[in-house]
Amino acid sequence: MPSISLKTPSASYDITIAPGLIKTLPVRLKKLRGSKPFRTFIVTSPEIWGLWGQQVQAAFAKSEQPTVLFLPAGERHKRLRTLESLLEQMAAAGADRDALLVAFGGGVVGDVTGFLAAVYMRGVPYVQVPTTLLAQVDSSVGGKTGVNLAVGKNLVGSFHHPLAVLADTDVLTTLPAAELRAGLQESVKAGIIRDAKLFAYLEKNADAVLRGDAKSLTHVVSASVRVKADVVANDERESGLRMILNYGHTLGHAIEAATSYKQLLHGEAVGWGSIAATRLGLMRGMISEAEADRMIKLILRYGPLSSFKATAEKLVTLTTNDKKNRSGQLSFVLPVKIGEVAIVRDVRRDEMKAAAEWTLALMREQNGTSSKKAATKKKTR
């Protein structure tokens, strides 16, 4: 049972990755709280609860059944109004400072629940039980919590670490194929920024990983989490090194904003953003053409990435709302080689636009190829 320890100046906890963790959830929660009395509040989406709610409830004794709070699925619900509704529900249910929140869902559920835990009665404990691959490999680890504003992602939030992360790999068996692929983009990112061995593993074992082979997925999740845990341990508050985790996210977030968070999954947007960042690094002569080609090929191998409508000009304009901006200057994470990136703060608008235009052209080319393949397959049936 892989268990990875994360230690920062303000928190220390384990990320456990294994099948069957849901069945042992009550026991694990009691162990985390020790002799302290607590009431369990689970925040989840109706869809996730419909798939796994019975198993979760069956794990708890009748006298210890958790209070379930529902958060509608989708990035568009990651807003302050949703947070306020959950706060009101907790207060109405009589939650006090002994409440223990459990984030049981994907990245949106995890981010919102973490922020809910950070602000309810000035802070209550919570546990992450991520149910998507993206949440297991990335968003559940590191203590970043928050919600979006209309102008940009994660502009309101706080650092509030969970007591533990319990990544049950069994829940990935009900994950739609598109969400599995989208989550794997974060693992590809982990390989690009800090783990050349993970990158090579993803290249060599793509077929097994994409078909959901349990052993392969456990390896990928564990390796991805180790990358993030190592980075967070060295830079808890994103003052420097932790910024490398935003590889692909600058234009990725702009793509999400340009499409009103409705057309792409987060991992798909990060995939396109990673391609743009790779292209920008190549344009600047920071990386060889051979390595840039490997990166882009692997990103597309874990696709297809959904297409979207936006102009390069609009995407570049939207990057000005990115939370990584410092004193009006945009920080960009660009590749040096597979397993190493650099934080660059002098990227010009015309460079970003050129990289965005190239990425949009590649998207149109890929979309055309996919359409032709689909048409050919239909004819042969």
67-120 residue pLDDT tens: 999 999 888 899 999 999 999 999 999 999 999 999 999 999 999 999 999 999
* Coil vs helix vs strand at 223: helix
> How large is the C-alpha radius of gyration of the chain?
20
Query: What pLDDT is attached to residue 96?
Result: 96
379 is catalytic: no
Q: Do domains 3-174 and 177-374 have the same CATH topology?
A: no
Report CA 302 to chain centroid distance, whole Å. Answer: 16
161 is catalytic: no
Q: What is the CATH topology of the domain spanning 177-374?
A: Dehydroquinate synthase-like, alpha domain (1.20.1090)
Residue from 62, 81, 122, 309 carrying the catalytic annotation: 122
Q: Euclidean distance between the first and final Cα of the chain, in Å?
A: 45
Range 323-330, long-range pairs (CB < 8 A, 24+ positions) = 323/152, 323/153, 323/154, 323/155, 324/243, 324/246, 324/250, 330/250
Structure confidence by residue, pLDDT tens digits, 189-207: 999 999 999 999 999 999 9
Query: What pLDDT is attached to residue 238?
Result: 80
CA distances from 191 to 128, 143, 271, 288 (A): 24, 21, 13, 17
pLDDT-derived band at 370, boundaries 50, 70, 90: low
205 is catalytic: no
Residue from 238, 256, 268, 291 carrying the catalytic annotation: 238
337 is catalytic: no
351 is catalytic: no
Structure confidence by residue, pLDDT tens digits, 258-292: 998 889 999 999 999 999 999 999 999 999 999 99
pLDDT above 80 (res 321): no
Ordered DSSP codes for 66-97: PEEEE--SSGGG-SHHHHHHHHHHHHHTT--T
- According to the per-residue pLDDT averaged within each range, which of 73-77, 339-343, 371-375 is highest? 339-343
Which sequence spans correspond to the domains of the chain?
3-174, 177-374
144 is catalytic: yes
Residue from 160, 189, 246, 324 carrying the catalytic annotation: 246
Residue from 28, 78, 144, 194 carrying the catalytic annotation: 144
CA distances from 47 to 44, 109, 176, 275 (A): 8, 12, 12, 31
Strands 99-105, 126-130: parallel, antiparallel or unpaired by DSSP? parallel
d(CA 323, CA 31): 37
249 is catalytic: yes
Query: What pLDDT is attached to residue 372?
Result: 52
pLDDT averaged over every residue in the chain: 92
Q: Residue 284: phi, psi to the nearest 5?
A: -85, 0
Q: What is the CATH topology of the domain spanning 3-174?
A: Rossmann fold (3.40.50)
Residue from 226, 249, 279, 324 carrying the catalytic annotation: 249
d(CA 82, CA 132): 21
Structure confidence by residue, pLDDT tens digits, 221-251: 999 999 999 999 998 888 788 899 999 999 9
pTM of the model: 0.88
291 is catalytic: no
122 is catalytic: yes
160 is catalytic: no
SS3 content of the chain, % helix, strand, coil (to 5): 55, 15, 25
